[in-house]
A and B are shown apart, each in its own frame.
Chain A
Amino acid sequence: GQQVMQIPQYQHVQEGEDFTTYCNSSTTLSNIQWYKQRPGGHPVFLIQLVKSGEVKKQKRLTFQFGEAKKNSSLHITATQTTDVGTYFCAGLSLNDYKLSFGAGTTVTVRA
């Protein structure tokens, strides 16, 4: 079955620095979604990428979908304490409606 791998599992960032989390699928995806889960909270939808090579920005967050639609990345610039949480990518397969989640990247920020 489809597997979505996400790296790194943990990211410790100095406030103001940039970082990137990567997501790779074993199969070609219909689309990829990104979610953020704050500590003690539930996942909140951030964005969906559908087109090959698509790039979308949300303020300091930049999301990319690979040309082959098998990988994606989330880049955060000038990290702030409000960025703390776990970021999940989730890929929708071409064949069914099931969303497969990566294990997430848990981000901590040093002030």
Chain B
Amino acid sequence: DGGITQSPKYLFRKEGQNVTLSCEQNLNHDAMYWYRQDPGQGLRLIYYSQIVNDFQKGDIAEGYSVSREKKESFPLTVTSAQKNPTAFYLCASQTGGPYGYTFGSGTRLTVV
């Protein structure tokens, strides 16, 4: 079955450590996105990529980095520069047309 896989589902890290969240899709979608969700808030865009080897900052990119070396993969690194990293992180992909975004099941990151 096609879909988006995010791993791990839960992640705990100590403050000051960088951490990389995985996002893999087998939908053959060109565009991929990273969103952050905090309680009671909507989804806020961190980074997005329309094509391999190219990506753009979203609304809250500070403290995050990404790469897009393969069409299937769009990992997100939460760096120690991110002041409040504890959140639910969602990866999405999209092919265009009237089909909307397909979301992964998310990674819940807790920094202690």
Taking beta carbons and an 8 Å cutoff, which residues of A are in contact with B? 1, 4, 6, 9, 33, 35, 41-48, 50, 88, 90, 97-104
Taking beta carbons and an 8 Å cutoff, which residues of B are in contact with A? 31, 33, 35, 40-45, 48, 50, 58-59, 90, 98-106
* CB atoms of A45 and B101 under 8 A apart: yes
Q: How far is the CB of B34 from chain A (nearest CB, A)?
A: 12
* CB atoms of B98 and A101 under 8 A apart: no
* CB atoms of B102 and A45 under 8 A apart: yes
Q: Which residues of A contact B106 (CB under 8 A)?
A: 42
Q: Say yes or no: A101-B42 contact (C-beta < 8 A), given A1-B59, A43-B90.
A: yes
B31, B42, B58, B101: the one within 8 Å of A103 (CB): B42
Closest to B91 in A: A42
Q: How far is the CB of A61 from chain B (nearest CB, A)?
A: 15
Which of A9, A42, A47, A102 has the most chain B CB atoms closer than 10 A to its own CB? A42
A43, A99, A103: the one within 8 Å of B41 (CB): A103
Q: How far is the CB of A31 from chain B (nearest CB, A)?
A: 8
* CB atoms of B101 and A99 under 8 A apart: yes
In the assembled complex, 7 residue pairs joining A and B whose CB atoms fall closer than 8 Å, in A order, are A4-B42, A33-B100, A35-B100, A48-B98, A48-B100, A101-B35, A103-B41
Q: How far is the CA of A9 from the CA of B55 in the complex (A)?
A: 32
* CB atoms of A43 and B45 under 8 A apart: no
Q: How far is the CA of A43 from the CA of B103 in the complex (A)?
A: 6
Q: Say yes or no: A6-B40 contact (C-beta < 8 A), given A45-B102, A97-B48.
A: no
